[in-house]
Amino acid sequence: MTTAPAPETGAPRALVVGESLIDVVRRRDGSVDEHPGGSPMNVAIGLGRLGRPVDLLTWFGQDPRGTALREHIAESAVRVVEGSDGAATTSVAIATLDANGAATYTFDLDWQVPPAAGLLDDVAVVHSSTIGAALAPGGEAVLELLALARSSATVTYDPNVRPALLGDGARALVERLVELADVVKVSDEDLAWCEPDSAPGAVAARWASSGPGLVVVTHGAEGVLATTSAGLTVAVPSRRVVVADTVGAGDSFMSGLIDGLWTAGLLGADRREALGRIDESTLVRILERCAEIAGITVSRAGANPPWAGELSPQSADV
């Protein structure tokens, strides 16, 4: 088993807030596999494997599936916030794969937020997605935490919309979370659901003028479009790989984006203005590395992001 690189002692940390669950993956050949999952947990795992110190504020049970989650999280040097294992049972997402490996989801999910006192101390970035902010009783606590985090940390957000779970009412919540965020990474599928009558580039530009310094739109095999609040727009192609499935691809891209901005010195509330003015060459390098990370993830089954040592040498300084 590959082990996570040891994070720097006393270094600023990432805080990831949201669901941890078991992905039950149903394939077209009739086989069924179980993998640890949940978008926020996947992002935390990705950051841990890239060598970043990260805390995960989450919610799972002390049952066998919860034990599997805890072991998986620990393998990537992610620290679970105390009290995160208080659920009656561990949540489940059933992912049904189509002929191209794309997943559709149904959920059996319970979400609460354990006490988070002191969690924002020495935190450079706080990451979340829509599910954690939408589901009662934990949703309001997530929104309050993100609003508080803005005074000291960068707030990153991936809508990761699941219409079957959230419903149409989530559109207004997405807008609210976008306004709270400094960095938004969104898939073209999520944008099509949020803004069905608008071009992705137009939505990205509008979002980038409403609060975030950087909005990144992923288009799967067609690549990535990024827009900054300063008006810079860049496009980066995806990596061509043989796809096993797409589970966790966007989450690993998000981990790479946070990690790249971290390396560039663009995290923290005091770097908010500089983030919005990121230069083109830096942004392209970061996005190319994100594309490499996502490409490795889709080349193997389940949400299994790469370790730092798996990346190409030219990615080392990004």
Structure tokens that stand for 172 in this block: 């207004």
Q: What is the mean pLDDT of residues 68-92?
A: 95
Please give the span between the terminal C-alpha atoms of the chain, in angstroms, as a whole number: 25
pLDDT for 53-78, tens place per residue?
Answer: 999 999 999 999 999 999 999 999 99
CATH code assigned to 13-306? 3.40.1190.20
pLDDT for 185-225, tens place per residue?
Answer: 999 999 999 999 999 999 999 999 999 999 999 998 889 99
pLDDT of 5 > 60? The answer is no
pLDDT of 172 > 50? The answer is yes
Q: How much of the chain, in percent, has pLDDT values that exceed 90?
A: 69
Q: What is the pLDDT of residue 220?
A: 84
Q: What is the pLDDT of residue 1?
A: 40
Q: What is the mean pLDDT of residues 36-60?
A: 95
Q: What's the burial of 170, exposed, middle or buried (CB within 10 Å: 0-12/13-18/19+)? A: buried
The DSSP line for 118-166 is TTTTTEEEEEEEHHHHHSTTTHHHHHHHHHHHTTTSEEEEE----HHHH
| Averaged pLDDT of the chain | 90
pLDDT of 89 > 70? The answer is yes
Question: pLDDT higher for 34 or 277?
Answer: 277
Q: What is the pLDDT of residue 10?
A: 59
Residue 106: pLDDT band (50, 70, 90) is confident
Q: What is the pLDDT of residue 177?
A: 96
Q: What is the pLDDT of residue 128?
A: 97
- The reported pTM is 0.90
Question: pLDDT higher for 262 or 95?
Answer: 262
Q: What is the mean pLDDT of residues 84-111?
A: 86
pLDDT of 243 > 80? The answer is no
Structure tokens that stand for 206 in this block: 């509008």
Q: Identify whether the C-beta of residue 275 lies closer than 8 Å to the C-beta of residue 260.
A: no
Domain locations along the chain: 13-306
Helices (H), ranges, 59-105? 64-75
